[in-house]
Amino acid sequence: MSVDPISEKTGAETARTMGVRRFGRVNWLGLASLCWRENRRFLSVWQQTVLAPLITAGLFLVVFALAFGQGRADIMGVPFLNFLAPGILMMTVIQNAFANTSSSLVVAKVQGNIVDTLMPPLAPWELVVGYLAGAIGRSLIVSVVIALGMFVAMGQGVAHPVWALVWMVMGAMLMGGLGLIASILANKFDQMAAFTNFVITPLSFLSGTFYSVEVLPPFFRSLSHWNPVFYLIDGARYGILGVSDASPWQGLWVVTVWLALVLGVSWYWFRIGFRLKA
């Protein structure tokens, strides 16, 4: 069977063109559109995505202030409520980052309009970046709002602004990536809720948010150092208060490894269409 040389040449040129577009060039318009869509998505319901986390964080602080604030000894040389505030801030940030990517993707899958995201000429890494842009945008807005509330209510400033910003972005990226993984695996809302209840919530609450890991028995203290959320909480505490249980550089290394793993899995699953394509 003969092959038309013109068709063969055209196919090769098309393949080369697509390869260059995919690996050598960036679809800036498509990427910007996806980033804008993901940010507009949570801004359109700001009462739920921005105001509600502020109220929740405030309630945590009020409850702990009424229950323990007056009689609790200082932790790492700072008052208990000041120690608690950065942990609650970061816990709120990572929960919102996870919720932003997971809800966006799983709703698209359930409603059947995921094809609107997969059909445009976007590379897998561009899809990951676009979804993470929404998680980072939502997390930064939430963190700024809560930080302002902390400053007004408690007079708490920021000891290391650059470190604080780094940890907020790292936390949003890591949990946003986990949100992508969870939503790709889930086909129903109850599966998504199970991942939140049995993975994200335990990681958040067992990460030193409400206590210093130094008070734990040696086994549980060592176990805490395998939890990436511990380093996010501890890093936020260092950025805001200037004190921490672990070195921020050690935490940065550990979280970077976890981040590379999570984003690598997300990219690969988008690349092969795992549980996305019919």
User: Taking the model in full, what pTM does it have?
Assistant: 0.86
| Range of 56-60, 111-115, 209-213, 231-235 with top mean pLDDT | 231-235
Binned at pLDDT 50, 70 and 90, residue 70 comes out as low
Q: How far apart are CA 152 and CA 136, in angstroms?
A: 24
Domain boundaries, the chain: 27-272
Residue given tokens 């070195």 in the structure block? 247
Closest to 271 measured CA to CA, from 167, 148, 126: 126
pLDDT given at position 207: 86
Whether 28 shows a pLDDT value over 60: the answer reads yes
Whether 15 shows a pLDDT value over 80: the answer reads no
pLDDT given at position 24: 52
Closest to 233 measured CA to CA, from 168, 156, 140: 168
Binned at pLDDT 50, 70 and 90, residue 229 comes out as very high
Whether 42 shows a pLDDT value over 50: the answer reads yes
Mean pLDDT of the chain, nearest integer: 85
